[in-house]
Structure 1
């Protein structure tokens, strides 16, 4: 079973911080068929929501601070952002931003886990998160890349109540019995300058075609299309501004 809607403790949203919003709109529109709408309010700072049909699926936004990297960020739904932010600190993480209200749509926190991977908390009010999951062009999986997997397991289990399933090939996260993500240990194959991070994966109909489309739109293939043992066909891509993300074949995930 996979998540098909936002649930407390699970990923509910993903958003891109980019150095070139217009270029990002074009790239992801070409790759995923997204229709982007930028919030016209000055105080929204150019925040743009991407849609598949009428369903919101992700956000694109300018960089709001000089220190902010070009990157995709993953938000997890919580019932109380303030209480969860306190728990982040009590369990060895760090709160970078918030808790803060975002208009009337929700309450928001940016945090780091003990290994240094950034993630976000979202306490929904009028906006619960993505309107569709696991369909072509939509978020379907999130993956933590970390250099300290044991500490990460303890931290996220305490914070969100996740359970863990470990196989010969992979570590998976579940919430409420539903799989939604996994974890990879960053070994010597990862350059030292690459920090721990959360990587969103978007569903596509054809991974090889998506990789070719990304390359044709000035993106880069970081990991060539690969069929995972007992898993889906996947690839890892980078957009023209440098943000990394994954794609997987939607038909492989049930």
Structure 2
């Protein structure tokens, strides 16, 4: 297993789940991906936070949705975070580029600092400046984060925004956009289908790597989840499925036909 020790600036480094039922979500993802559940109190706030782990190493986080969000009807969701070494400066660039900072940078004890943003097309994402918590230690390996995909109503505006904020390079082929950081492709994007109407907002979709999409689809159903799209083959790429957990959070799973990029940044091999 390869463990990330430090992420480069401007790449996705963390994902976490905000859910209407954290206990049910813990059971679901433990069953689907074999994740271990490590729930810890957040200081003396009375709130707990879950670190999901593989072989003791972090893969994702999760927490119970706050009562005001529940009352407002906010759906369960996965949130991706981009690593930054200066969260205040990054948030300022996002505002200058036409984005919205809807939760300003705040310290999370000694773990690091976080902020929530929205790009000009309406897609939400987070920023993470690491302290003791570097982000996901396991990525680009089975049952862990491998890709994030922007589904947007304005690819051009989104591309300009992410270039200004993070310096991402961009190339588009057959309607699919890929963004790179310092030459390393790390996420993609595509236009939302107009046939979906306004019901689906611009969003970032998180992909988890699996070894067998069909077996994952079978477990998904047994655990109370729903296949939204697929399993389906993607020519020249692999096989994938878009799914929802029992609380309604959307994510995707994928098996690639060929090798997967190494985890980014400083990496150590263990085990």
User: Does the alignment pair 1:98 with 2:104?
Assistant: yes
Query: Which region of structure 1 is more displaced relative to structure 2, 156-165 or 10-19?
Result: 156-165
Gap runs ≥5 in structure 2: 261-271
Deviations 1:36-79 (A, max 9, x none): 11113442722100000121000111112424431000000011
Asked whether the equivalents of residues 135 and 250 of structure 1 are also in contact (C-alpha less than 8 Å), the reply is: no
TM-score by length of 1: 0.94
Does the C-alpha gap of structure 1 residues 239 and 30 become closer, same or farther in structure 2, counting only changes over 3 Å? same
Aligned length: 251
Question: What's the CA shift for 1:169?
Answer: 5.4
Query: Which region of structure 1 is more displaced relative to structure 2, 20-29 or 190-199?
Result: 190-199
Alignment partner of 1:52 out of 51, 54, 58: 54
TM-score by length of 2: 0.89
SS of equivalent residue, structure 2 residue 194:
coil
Counterparts of residues 70-85 of structure 1 (less than 5 Å)? 70-85=76-91
User: Does the alignment pair 1:13 with 2:19?
Assistant: no
User: Does the alignment pair 1:228 with 2:234?
Assistant: yes
Asked whether the equivalents of residues 73 and 198 of structure 1 are also in contact (C-alpha less than 8 Å), the reply is: yes
Matched residues in 2 for 1:104 and 1:212: separation? 40
Q: Please provide the CA RMSD for this pair.
A: 1.5
Matched residues in 2 for 1:238 and 1:53: separation? 25
| Correspondence for 2:36 | 35
Asked whether the equivalents of residues 143 and 182 of structure 1 are also in contact (C-alpha less than 8 Å), the reply is: yes
Structure 1 runs (4+) deviating above 6 angstroms are: none
Query: Which region of structure 1 is more displaced relative to structure 2, 37-46 or 196-205?
Result: 37-46
Alignment partner of 1:120 out of 116, 126, 133: 126
Matched residues in 1 for 2:181 and 2:46: separation? 32
Counterparts of residues 1-254 of structure 1 (less than 5 Å)? 6-41=7-42, 42-43=44-45, 45-64=47-66, 65-66=68-69, 67=72, 68-168=74-174, 170-249=176-255, 252-254=258-260
Matched residues in 2 for 1:135 and 1:33: separation? 13
